[in-house]
């Protein structure tokens, strides 16, 4: 660690929170939204533009959930099960429709950022997925070829001799490029959305814990640690923190969500020459690791940012940071003597079917469960959910009729995940990934 080591997200440096502190919760509003991350804020933006009054509650400070401190990577978020796995479960036509939603999200996302004029360092430089062995590379190429039926899907194969033109590492034997991917500054996007909400008259209450939501003849009564309000409708957008910071009203949701730790580090400042060698095209990066890893140059080209799934449910910056540094040096051995300046972690929400869900349950609208790929999905599904709430056309998605699965005796604590993640990490290590 450097002498300036800090356990705050790198993304929180020099980014101001434009929210005007609200001391008193209003008696009523058209909409109450639980969760002020990308989903909640983007939904609020659409509702405010439709002339509705909106109040948002977040149990933490703005930016302290996944939206404000993720990897900042933009992509179509293709499904973990792939076309074959989805086809076995739903049939090929439905499988393609589910995968197409990821392309729809990446189609919409840059348009949204441009139309809202949000400065968040968005650069669509593509993503390089490095592969450590020929067998895995052959399978990835087959998987990509099978996805060419999707409208707008593109990929390029990188042979072993060309890997160094994509990344300054000897680990990978080849790879594929997803040219439609990109990167951004997630906290700038979050705070840009916050400013939009505030400017439109929306109210955001930080560090406000929702205890219960009660259905009444006239709508809903929402009780918080700062007061109570009534609203016509309620939107649940709490994602990975649905159990930790919510009352009994959210049991339906947290029984269907697996909060998983995702951790990141930022190195000390590095010479531009080194950044150019490691990331010559400034792409986003990942690999064929079972334990998801993602890495990139920081938007200011001064640091390396590296993230991965944590191997347990605890937010332990030093321990997580040491593990991440070890994995980083496996890819870039020349960073062995480089120090860590920032280390942080948070929760993302997986679902049992690896698919996001949106809809309405017991009168509560929701969009939730992005499985670690929520930047584009959240913004896109917030639009679709808002259209549905407002009774507008073109609100349908391929997720609408999917059963939101849970498991017997599961109550929101994925106690089994640490063992699974550690096993995946062990397999990655012995296979040299």
pLDDT in tens, 174-199: 999 999 999 999 999 999 999 999 99
Which residue from 238, 220, 239 is spatially nearest to 230, judged by alpha carbons? 220
- How confident is the model at residue 11, as a pLDDT? 98
Q: Tell me: pLDDT of 79 over 90.
A: no
The percentage of the chain sitting over the pLDDT mark of 70, rounded to a whole number, equals 99
- How confident is the model at residue 420, as a pLDDT? 78
CA dist 30 → 209, 390, 395 (Å): 20, 12, 20
Q: Tell me: pLDDT of 239 over 90.
A: yes
CA dist 390 → 222, 321, 413 (Å): 21, 44, 34
Q: Are 98 and 79 in contact (CB under 8 A)?
A: yes
- How confident is the model at residue 77, as a pLDDT? 77
Mean pLDDT for 276-302 is 94
- How confident is the model at residue 169, as a pLDDT? 97
Q: Which of the residue ranges 82-86, 153-157, 206-210 would you say has the lowest mean pLDDT? A: 82-86
Q: Token digits for 57?
A: 């509650």
More confident residue, 310 or 31: 31
Mean pLDDT for 265-278 is 98
- How confident is the model at residue 402, as a pLDDT? 95
More confident residue, 128 or 83: 128
Q: Are 272 and 301 in contact (CB under 8 A)?
A: yes
| Stated pTM of the model | 0.95
Q: Tell me: pLDDT of 416 over 90.
A: no
Integer Cα distance of 93 and 402 in angstroms: 14
Q: At 50, is the pLDDT very low, low, confident or very high (cuts 50, 70, 90)? A: very high
Mean pLDDT for 114-141 is 96
The domains located in the chain, with CATH, are 10-70+187-257+352-417 (3.50.50.60)
Segments of 225-377 assigned E as strands: 227-236, 258-267, 284-286, 293-297, 304-309, 340-350, 357-361, 364-368
Mean pLDDT for 332-348 is 96
Integer Cα distance of 183 and 42 in angstroms: 19
What SS3 state is found at 89? helix
- How confident is the model at residue 353, as a pLDDT? 92
Q: Tell me: pLDDT of 315 over 90.
A: no
Q: Tell me: pLDDT of 256 over 80.
A: yes
Mean pLDDT for 244-270 is 91
What SS3 state is found at 106? helix
Work out the mean pLDDT of the chain and round it to a whole number: 93
- For 376-402, the pLDDT digits (tens) are 999 999 999 999 999 999 999 999 999
Q: Tell me: pLDDT of 339 over 80.
A: yes
């Amino acid at each position: 660690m450097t002498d300036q080591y800090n356990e705050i997200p790198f993304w929180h440096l020099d980014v101001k929170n434009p929210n005007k502190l609200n001391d008193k919760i209003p008696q009523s509003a058209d909409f109450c939204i639980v969760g002020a991350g990308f989903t909640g804020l983007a939904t609020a933006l659409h509702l405010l533009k439709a002339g509705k009054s909106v109040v948002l509650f977040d149990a933490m400070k703005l930016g302290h959930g996944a939206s404000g401190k993720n990897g900042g990577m933009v992509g179509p978020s293709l499904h973990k099960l792939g076309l074959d796995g989805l086809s076995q479960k739903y049939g090929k036509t439905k499988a393609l429709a589910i995968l197409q939603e990821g392309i729809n999200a990446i189609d919409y996302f840059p348009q949204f950022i441009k139309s809202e004029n949000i400065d968040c360092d968005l650069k669509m430089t593509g993503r390089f997925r490095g592969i450590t062995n020929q067998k895995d590379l052959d399978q990835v190429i087959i998987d990509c070829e099978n996805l060419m039926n999707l409208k707008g899907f593109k990929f390029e194969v990188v042979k072993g001799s060309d890997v160094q033109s994509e990344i300054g590492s000897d680990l990978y034997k080849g790879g594929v490029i997803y040219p439609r991917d990109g990167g951004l500054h997630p906290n700038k996007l979050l705070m840009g959305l916050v400013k939009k909400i505030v400017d439109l008259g929306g109210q955001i209450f930080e560090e406000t814990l929702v205890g219960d939501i009660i259905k009444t003849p006239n709508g809903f009564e929402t009780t918080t640690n700062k007061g109570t309000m009534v609203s016509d409708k309620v939107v649940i957008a709490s994602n990975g923190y649905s159990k930790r910071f919510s009352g009994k009203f959210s049991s339906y949701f947290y029984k269907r969500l697996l909060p998983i730790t995702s951790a990141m580090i930022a190195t000390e400042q590095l010479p531009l020459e080194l950044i150019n060698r490691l990331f010559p095209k400034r792409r986003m990066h990942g690999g064929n690791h079972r334990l998801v890893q993602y890495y990139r140059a920081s938007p200011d080209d001064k640091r390396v940012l590296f993230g991965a799934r944590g191997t347990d449910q605890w937010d332990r910056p030093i321990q997580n940071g040491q593990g991440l540094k070890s994995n980083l040096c496996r890819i870039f051995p020349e960073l062995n003597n480089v120090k860590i300046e920032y280390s942080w972690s948070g929760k993302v929400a997986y679902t049992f079917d690896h698919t996001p869900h949106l809809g309405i349950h017991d009168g509560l609208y929701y969009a939730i469960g992005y499985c670690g790929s929520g930047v584009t999905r959240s913004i896109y599904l917030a639009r679709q959910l808002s259209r549905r709430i407002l009774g507008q056309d073109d609100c349908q998605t391929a997720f609408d009729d999917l059963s939101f699965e849970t498991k017997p005796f599961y109550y929101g604590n994925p106690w089994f995940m640490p063992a699974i993640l550690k096993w995946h990490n062990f397999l990655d290590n012995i296979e040299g990934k």
